[in-house]
């Protein structure tokens, strides 16, 4: 590597999510459909060592985000045994359920030529899908990826200025007795119970589009089909699996 290499880290969207069980180690198994989006982070990888992170906060404002010592990029480099100086520019809002950190890790794994999905799953449940990308059925704890034919689609996202902690949402799902989500996402009732404020943002997007919004994974982003310009709306499209 003689100079900077620019990598795209596309967001993922969970279109449907069913929880199929809970393992002895406490991890939940799932059966989900995920797609890759046109929204993406940008990574500049150069010779050296260290990570610089800047970009969007949960409400979409520009600022510093997260730490660097436990960032998934740092962990992905450690997994592959590689070192690099990485400048990460966040365009995917943090805490939105769009797999931003997982996408960043997957971009590093692709750059390093890494293809071990089980090892990738140790970084996070969404990392294997983000590594494969496109459209796929995702099972197990995220490591079982069955690619599906690509379907072009336009979508509108609305990310509230409040995050939904994935561990907290899963814990609430357990506490609620494992409810089945009415709209294809078993985590939706748990997320609404954990972060009641999410409901008003669902109503806001629904009123603006005339559709019933669905929750992206554990939240906090809501989405509907089609492009619907509006205040705070992100217009995105599905994209094929990344190639680099």
Q: Which domains occur in the chain, in start order?
A: 5-147 (3.30.230.10), 154-239 (3.30.70.890)
Residue 58, pLDDT > 70, answer no
Q: How confident is the model at residue 219 (pLDDT cuts 50, 70, 90)?
A: very high
Whether the per-residue pLDDT at 143 is higher than 80: the answer is yes
pLDDT at 94: 83
Instruction: Name the CA dihedral angle for 212, 218, 221, 227, rounded to a multiple of 10 degrees.
Output: -50
Distances (CA, A) of 67 to 2, 19, 74, 173: 27, 31, 10, 28
Among 3-7, 148-152, 153-157, where is mean pLDDT lowest? 3-7
| Residue 120: φ, ψ to 5° | -60, -35
Task: Summarize pLDDT for 104-114 with one digit per residue, the tens.
Answer: 999 999 999 99
Write out the two tokens for 23. 């393992």
Exactly one of 41, 90, 104, 126 is catalytic; name it.
Answer: 126
Portion of the chain with pLDDT greater than 90, in percent: 84
Burial class (CB in 10 A: 0-12, 13-18, 19+), 59: middle
Which residue in 12, 41, 90, 186 is the catalytic one? 12
Q: Can you name the residues that pair with 86 across neighbouring β-strands?
A: 45, 51
More confident of the two residues 62 and 10: 10
What confidence score (pLDDT) does residue 179 get? 95
Work out the average pLDDT over 208-217. Answer: 97
Residues of the chain with pLDDT > 70, as a percent, come to: 92
pTM over 0.75: yes
**Contact status, residue 100 vs residue 93, Cβ threshold 8 Å:** yes
Q: Is 200 annotated in the active site?
A: no
């Amino acid at each position: 590597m003689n100079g900077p290499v620019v990598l795209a880290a596309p967001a993922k969207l969970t279109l449907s999510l069913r929880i199929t069980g809970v393992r002895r180690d406490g991890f939940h198994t799932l059966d989900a459909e995920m797609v890759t989006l046109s929204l993406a982070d940008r990574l500049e990888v150069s010779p050296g060592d260290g990570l610089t992170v800047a970009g969007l906060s949960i409400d979409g404002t520009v600022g510093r985000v997260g730490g660097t010592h436990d960032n998934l990029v740092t962990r992905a480099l450690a997994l592959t045994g590689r070192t690099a100086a990485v400048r990460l520019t966040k365009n995917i809002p943090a805490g939105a359920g769009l797999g931003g950190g997982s996408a960043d890790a997957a971009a590093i794994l692709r750059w390093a030529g890494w293809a071990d999905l089980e090892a990738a799953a140790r970084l996070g449940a969404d990392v294997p899908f983000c590594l494969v990308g496109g459209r796929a059925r995702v099972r197990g704890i995220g490591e079982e990826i069955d690619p599906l034919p690509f379907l072009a689609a336009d979508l509108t996202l609305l990310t509230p200025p409040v995050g939904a902690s994935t561990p907290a949402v899963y814990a609430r799902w357990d506490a609620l007795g494992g409810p089945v989500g009415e709209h294809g996402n078993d985590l939706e009732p748990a997320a609404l119970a954990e972060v009641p404020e999410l409901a008003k943002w669902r109503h806001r997007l629904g009123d603006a589009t005339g559709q019933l919004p669905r929750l992206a994974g554990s939240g906090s982003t809501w989405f509907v089909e089609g492009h619907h310009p509006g205040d705070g709306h992100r217009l995105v499209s599905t994209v094929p699996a990344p190639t680099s």
